[in-house]
Amino acid sequence: MKKKALVTAGPTRENIDPIRFISNRSSGKMGYAIAKALGLKGAHVKLISGPVELGPPSSVELTIVETAEEMAEAVFKEFNWADVIVMAAAVSDYKPASVSSRKIKKEENNIDIRFERTQDILLEMGRRKRADQILVGFALETEELIKNATKKLREKNLDIVIANSEKAQSSDMADIWIIDRKGSRELNKMSKEKLGEIIANKILNYNKFSE
């Protein structure tokens, strides 16, 4: 049976005023590579992407979002449809508590911006996950990579977590660790296109009920 895969990719943006926003350095390349590979391997893929400078893979259905709130809305709209969910997007953890309706002028030498947490989409998906769904998350860490990624796997009820460092964000190459409840596999200095193929194979051949 054809797998139904929901993939997210790219950053989100949280507005400060009509001109400025906060975001992160995610390029979306890994998420797009996974979506492309899943599509080429026969899955029906829906890709939800933040703002990136990438052309969409021809084999997927693409939805563009901007904010963490829009990402959450799009994800949960498709969540029950999916057999596989790959949360590769780098969703903003915080957003300004209020957005200025006008451009903040330079004359205001100091500005104070209060931030509030955005919804933890991956945590909520872990809570909602059906027994027959496979949930894949990403962990970008600057220290204790394996320890923190494994903790995320447990605490957010993931089946697989892809761990990488901040060095991979804007590069076409990456070092990653694929971690599940049985162990981990390290992959070094590979293109994101190739890693996308490997991750897609891992997902499509994954049996969460095997010992």
Given a contact cutoff of 8 angstroms between Cβ atoms, the answer to whether 83 and 68 are in contact is no
The burial of 47, by beta-carbon neighbours within 10 Å (0-12 exposed, 13-18 middle, 19 or more buried), is given as: buried
Q: Round to whole Å and give the CA distance between 52 and 100.
A: 25
Active site residue 24: yes
CA angle 99, 67, 173 (to 5 degrees): 130
Determine phi and psi for 9, rounding to 5 degrees.
Answer: -155, 160
Active-site position among 15, 24, 148, 157: 24
Q: Residue 15's closest CA among 124, 88, 98?
A: 98
**Residues that are catalytic:** 24
